[in-house]
Structure 1
Protein backbone atom coordinates (compact mmCIF):
# COMPACT_ATOMS: atom_id res chain seq x y z
CA UNK A 1 0.00 0.00 0.00
CA UNK A 2 1.38 3.40 -0.96
CA UNK A 3 1.94 6.22 1.52
CA UNK A 4 -0.99 8.14 0.00
CA UNK A 5 -3.35 5.16 0.31
CA UNK A 6 -2.34 4.72 3.93
CA UNK A 7 -2.96 8.41 4.69
CA UNK A 8 -6.38 8.34 2.97
CA UNK A 9 -7.35 5.24 4.95
CA UNK A 10 -6.25 6.91 8.21
CA UNK A 11 -8.26 10.06 7.47
CA UNK A 12 -11.40 8.09 6.63
CA UNK A 13 -11.11 5.93 9.76
CA UNK A 14 -10.51 8.96 11.99
CA UNK A 15 -13.30 11.12 10.57
CA UNK A 16 -15.90 8.34 10.49
CA UNK A 17 -14.87 6.71 13.76
CA UNK A 18 -14.36 3.28 12.25
CA UNK A 19 -11.53 0.78 12.33
CA UNK A 20 -8.98 1.06 9.52
CA UNK A 21 -9.74 -2.62 8.85
CA UNK A 22 -13.23 -1.64 7.64
CA UNK A 23 -11.86 0.92 5.17
CA UNK A 24 -11.18 -0.61 1.76
CA UNK A 25 -11.63 0.44 -1.88
CA UNK A 26 -14.95 -1.42 -2.13
CA UNK A 27 -16.46 0.06 1.05
CA UNK A 28 -19.33 2.49 0.63
CA UNK A 29 -19.02 5.58 2.85
CA UNK A 30 -22.76 5.52 3.55
CA UNK A 31 -23.74 1.85 3.46
CA UNK A 32 -20.62 0.24 4.94
CA UNK A 33 -19.02 3.00 7.02
CA UNK A 34 -22.11 4.85 8.23
CA UNK A 35 -21.26 8.29 6.85
CA UNK A 36 -23.90 10.97 6.45
CA UNK A 37 -23.74 14.06 4.23
CA UNK A 38 -21.92 16.12 6.88
CA UNK A 39 -19.33 13.36 7.29
CA UNK A 40 -18.75 13.41 3.54
CA UNK A 41 -18.15 17.18 3.57
CA UNK A 42 -15.74 16.79 6.50
CA UNK A 43 -13.88 14.08 4.58
CA UNK A 44 -13.48 16.36 1.57
CA UNK A 45 -12.15 19.15 3.79
CA UNK A 46 -9.72 16.75 5.50
CA UNK A 47 -8.47 15.52 2.11
CA UNK A 48 -7.98 19.11 0.93
CA UNK A 49 -5.94 19.89 4.05
CA UNK A 50 -3.83 16.74 3.75
CA UNK A 51 -3.14 16.94 0.03
Structure 2
Protein backbone atom coordinates (compact mmCIF):
# COMPACT_ATOMS: atom_id res chain seq x y z
CA UNK A 1 0.00 0.00 0.00
CA UNK A 2 2.91 2.31 0.67
CA UNK A 3 4.16 1.94 -2.88
CA UNK A 4 0.86 3.28 -4.24
CA UNK A 5 1.23 6.47 -2.21
CA UNK A 6 4.82 6.78 -3.35
CA UNK A 7 3.83 6.37 -7.01
CA UNK A 8 1.03 8.93 -6.66
CA UNK A 9 3.44 11.41 -5.09
CA UNK A 10 6.06 10.87 -7.80
CA UNK A 11 3.50 11.17 -10.60
CA UNK A 12 2.16 14.42 -9.14
CA UNK A 13 5.69 15.74 -8.84
CA UNK A 14 6.42 14.91 -12.49
CA UNK A 15 3.10 16.44 -13.61
CA UNK A 16 3.76 19.66 -11.70
CA UNK A 17 7.27 19.82 -13.17
CA UNK A 18 5.91 19.59 -16.71
CA UNK A 19 3.20 22.14 -15.93
CA UNK A 20 5.83 24.52 -14.60
CA UNK A 21 7.99 24.03 -17.71
CA UNK A 22 4.99 24.67 -19.95
CA UNK A 23 4.01 27.86 -18.12
CA UNK A 24 7.61 29.06 -18.20
CA UNK A 25 7.75 28.47 -21.97
CA UNK A 26 4.48 30.33 -22.55
CA UNK A 27 5.59 33.32 -20.47
CA UNK A 28 8.92 33.52 -22.30
CA UNK A 29 7.26 33.59 -25.73
CA UNK A 30 8.25 30.10 -26.83
CA UNK A 31 4.91 29.61 -28.56
CA UNK A 32 4.66 33.04 -30.19
CA UNK A 33 4.15 32.77 -33.92
CA UNK A 34 6.75 34.98 -35.59
CA UNK A 35 6.56 33.38 -39.05
CA UNK A 36 2.90 33.59 -40.05
CA UNK A 37 2.50 37.40 -39.91
CA UNK A 38 5.44 37.85 -42.28
CA UNK A 39 3.94 35.59 -44.98
CA UNK A 40 0.28 36.48 -44.47
CA UNK A 41 0.49 39.27 -47.06
CA UNK A 42 1.56 36.73 -49.69
CA UNK A 43 -1.76 34.87 -49.57
CA UNK A 44 -4.78 36.20 -51.41
CA UNK A 45 -7.89 36.62 -49.36
CA UNK A 46 -11.13 35.45 -50.90
CA UNK A 47 -13.53 38.20 -51.82
CA UNK A 48 -16.76 38.21 -49.90
CA UNK A 49 -19.92 38.81 -51.95
TM-score range, shorter chain: 0.3 to 0.5
Greater relative contact order (Cα 8 A, min sep 6): structure 1 or 2?
1
Structure 2 length normalisation: TM-score?
0.33
